[in-house]
Structure 1
Amino acid sequence: MIDPLAHAPDRVTICEVGPRDGLQNEAVPISADDKVHYCDLLSDAGVPILEATSFVSPKAVPQMADADDVFRRIRKDPGRIYLVLCPNERGLDRAVAAGVRAIGVFTAASEAFAQANIRMSVDESVATFAGVVQRAKADGMWVRAAVSTAFGCPFQGDVPVAAVVRVCERLLALGVDELSVADTIGVATPNQVVEVVGALASAVPPERLGLHFHDTRGTAMANTLAALELGVRIFDTSSGGLGGCPFAPGATGNCATEDLVYMLHKMGIATGIDLDKLRAASRFIQGKLGRPLASRAYTALEAADARAARIAVAG
C-alpha cells in the first residue's frame, strides 16, 4: 500500500497568529489586560511561536495601539519565540524599547495587493524594510518575513509563481531567518501548493519555509496535507480561526489552530501544543468578542464536552 504522507515530518512547528493577525481587524475593542491574558493562555498551551502584537501606526490599526504595553506585560517563557510585526524603522524603535527579540516584516507577491495594502510597490516595500532587517539582525534578533497573496490576489487575480520565487529570494538575501508564504484570500488548492512549494524548493531550505493558509473556501486542511507530503514543517494558524483578509469578500479567517492540531495529533505528528489548553485560550477570547468562533474542531470539542457534562449531571 502506498503511503501518501510518506514524506511528512514527524513534528510540525506552529506559529500562532491569533493575538495579532486574528484580532487586528476585529471591530470589538479588546483591552490590553485581555490581550495579555490571551497571550499567556496561548503560552500555557505550548505554542512554539507566538505572534503577540504589531508595532504599526495606531491610526492605521487601532486594535494594536497598545502594542508597547501588551508586549512588555506578556509572559515570556524560555525556548518560545514571541514575535511582533515591525513594518518600518519607527516600529522597530518601539519594539526595541519594549524588549522585543523577534520581529516580522511583510510584503506581497502581487504588485496590486502591495499597492492597496501598504501603498508601495513590492520593490519599494523590500527596500523600506531592508534597513529594519539589517538593524534587527545586527542586534541579534530573529527575523521572519511574510509574503502575502502567493496563491492569488483579490485585485489582479492569478499571481505568477515566478513572482513568488523572486520576492522570496530577495527576502532571503536580506538575511531573514524564516519565510511565511501566504494564501491571503483563501483561494489556494493542493495542486497550487505543489506548484508553489516545488518552485521554492531550490531557493528556500525546507526548515526555513512556513505556509499560511486561510480557510475561506474550506481548503486549508487539504492544502496542509499537500504541504506535509512535500516536507513542509512550519504552519501559521490562529486560535479559533480568528482573522481573515479584509480584502477577501466572505473571508472566514485563518486556518484554525485547533483544526490543525487535532488533525496532526490524530496523524501521529507532534506539535508540542496541548489541545485542551489551546481551547481554553480560544474560549477566553470568544467571550470577549461575544460571537462564535470559526474553528470546526473547537466547536465540536466544546459541544462534546458540554454534552458529557449534561449526561454526568443527569446520570
Structure 2
Amino acid sequence: MTRKIEIVEVGPRDGLQNDPVLMPTDVKIEFVERLIDAGVKRMEAASFVHPKLVPAMADSAEVMQRVPRVDGVKYIGLALNEKGMRRALDSRCDEVNYVMVASPGFGLKNQNATPQQTADLFDQIAVLAHDDGVPVSVTVSVAFGDPFDGEVDPKTLGELAGRAKAAGAVEFALGDTIGVADPWAVRRALDIVKAQSGDMRIRMHFHNTRNTAMANIYAAIEAGVDVIDASVGGIGGCPFAPAATGNVATEDVVYMLDRAGIETGLDLDKLIETAKWLETDGLKHPVESALSKAGGFAQV
C-alpha cells in the first residue's frame, strides 16, 4: 500500500506573519483559494495574537469570515492564551492550535511564560475548544533549541507531550523555530515524545534556516511521522526569534515525496505556480524555494 503523508500548509499564517510585506486581505483570500486549488485540505489561516505584536495577522477575524468553506478543507487558527482561543472559536476555525514552549528564555520573551506555565494554561483553556466540539492541537516552539538558552533537553518535550495528551490535544507538533535541528536530534526527540504521546498524532514543523529541513523531514518520516508542516515558497519565520528565516517550502517537500512514491494529494505544478504568484503578485519579492526556480523533474 502506498504511504500517505499529510502536508499542513502554513503559508497564510506562519508564512506571512514575519514578511516585510503586509498582504492585503483580498490577496490573502486569493492565496487561500490558490492553495485549495492545489489540493490543500488543511492549512493555518489565522493567528489570534495582539495585532501590535504581529500586524500581519491583524485581519485574521475578517480572513476567517471570507475564506471559502469547502467540504474537506480545514482551517487552523493559532492561539497563545484564553482571549486568542475564544477569538479563534468565535471566528469558526475548524481547529485551534495552541503554542507551548520548550525553553524559558524564549517563552518569557514571546509568551511571558515558562514551559510549565504554557502547559498549565493549556489545561485551563483547552476545555473551551472541547465544549465547542473543536479539535485542539499543540505546537511546541523552540523544540530543538532556544536562541536565548541554547540546547533544549528532549525530556522536556516528552513532559509537554504528556501534558498535551492529558488535556485532550488530538495532535502534538515539534516546532524547530530557529532551524537548528538535525536528523539525529529529530530521532532522539521522537523516541521520547512517542513514549508519552499515546494516540495523539505527531506533526513536525521545520524551518530551513540552516538548510537541514529536508533531511529532518526524511528522518521524521522514517521514524513514522505522517504529518508535516510546510509553506509555499518557503516563506515565513518567527518574528520573535533572531535570524529565524523561513519555513521549508511545500513544493520542495512534495517533490521529494512524489519521487519516493509517497502520496500527498497536492498538485506540484500548481504549488510552483502559487510560489511564482507570490513573487510577482502576492508578496512581490523573491521566495526561497528551490522548485519555484528549477521546476519539477527536468524534461529533455
- TM-score for both structures, normalised by structure 1: 0.89
1:12 aligns with 2:5: yes
Letter in 1 for 2:22: P
For residues 303 and 263 of structure 1, what CA distance do their matches in structure 2 show? 10
Bigger Rg, structure 1 or 2: 1
The 10-residue stretch of structure 1 (163-172 or 92-101) with the greater mean CA deviation from structure 2: 92-101
For residues 182 and 122 of structure 2, what CA distance do their matches in structure 1 show? 31
- Give the equivalent residue in structure 1 for 2:273: 280
1:97 aligns with 2:90: yes
- Give the equivalent residue in structure 1 for 2:292: 298
- Give the equivalent residue in structure 2 for 1:46: 39
- TM-superposed CA distance for 1:127, in Å, is 2.3
- TM-superposed CA distance for 1:26, in Å, is 1.4
For residues 191 and 9 of structure 1, what CA distance do their matches in structure 2 show? 26
- TM-superposed CA distance for 1:198, in Å, is 1.2
Give the secondary-structure state (helix, strand or coil) at the position aligned to 2:195: coil
Equivalence map 1:32-181=2 (5 Å) = 32-181=25-174
Q: Contact 1:240 / 1:258 at 8 angstroms: preserved in 2?
A: yes
Q: Contact 1:154 / 1:247 at 8 angstroms: preserved in 2?
A: no
The 10-residue stretch of structure 1 (293-302 or 65-74) with the greater mean CA deviation from structure 2: 293-302
Letter in 1 for 2:290: R
For residues 68 and 127 of structure 2, what CA distance do their matches in structure 1 show? 27
Equivalence map 1:156-305=2 (5 Å) = 156-205=149-198, 208-286=201-279, 287-301=281-295
Letter in 1 for 2:82: E
For residues 239 and 79 of structure 2, what CA distance do their matches in structure 1 show? 20
| 1:44-100 deviations in Å (ceiling 9; x for gaps) | 111221100111111211111111111110112212221011222222332233222
Give the secondary-structure state (helix, strand or coil) at the position aligned to 1:145: strand
| 1:208-240 deviations in Å (ceiling 9; x for gaps) | 000111111111111111111111111111110
Q: Contact 2:86 / 2:128 at 8 angstroms: preserved in 1?
A: no
Q: Which runs of 5+ in 1 are unaligned?
A: 1-7, 309-315
Letter in 2 for 1:294: E
Structure 1 stretches of at least 4 aligned residues deviating more than 3 Å after TM superposition: 246-252, 302-305
For residues 86 and 207 of structure 1, what CA distance do their matches in structure 2 show? 19
| 1:252-308 deviations in Å (ceiling 9; x for gaps) | 311110110000001100000111222232223222322111111222118979xx9
RMSD (Å), alpha carbons:
2.1
For residues 224 and 112 of structure 2, what CA distance do their matches in structure 1 show? 35
Letter in 2 for 1:103: V
Q: Contact 1:152 / 1:159 at 8 angstroms: preserved in 2?
A: yes
Q: Which runs of 5+ in 2 are unaligned?
A: none
Letter in 2 for 1:262: Y
Q: Contact 2:17 / 2:238 at 8 angstroms: preserved in 1?
A: no
- TM-superposed CA distance for 1:207, in Å, is 6.2
Aligned residues: 299
For residues 131 and 101 of structure 1, what CA distance do their matches in structure 2 show? 20
Letter in 2 for 1:46: G
Letter in 2 for 1:85: L
- TM-superposed CA distance for 1:132, in Å, is 2.5
Q: Contact 2:172 / 2:200 at 8 angstroms: preserved in 1?
A: no
For residues 235 and 129 of structure 1, what CA distance do their matches in structure 2 show? 23
For residues 240 and 178 of structure 1, what CA distance do their matches in structure 2 show? 25
Identical amino acids, percent of aligned pairs = 41
Give the secondary-structure state (helix, strand or coil) at the position aligned to 2:118: helix
Give the secondary-structure state (helix, strand or coil) at the position aligned to 1:202: helix
Q: Contact 2:177 / 2:244 at 8 angstroms: preserved in 1?
A: no
Q: Contact 1:9 / 1:233 at 8 angstroms: preserved in 2?
A: no
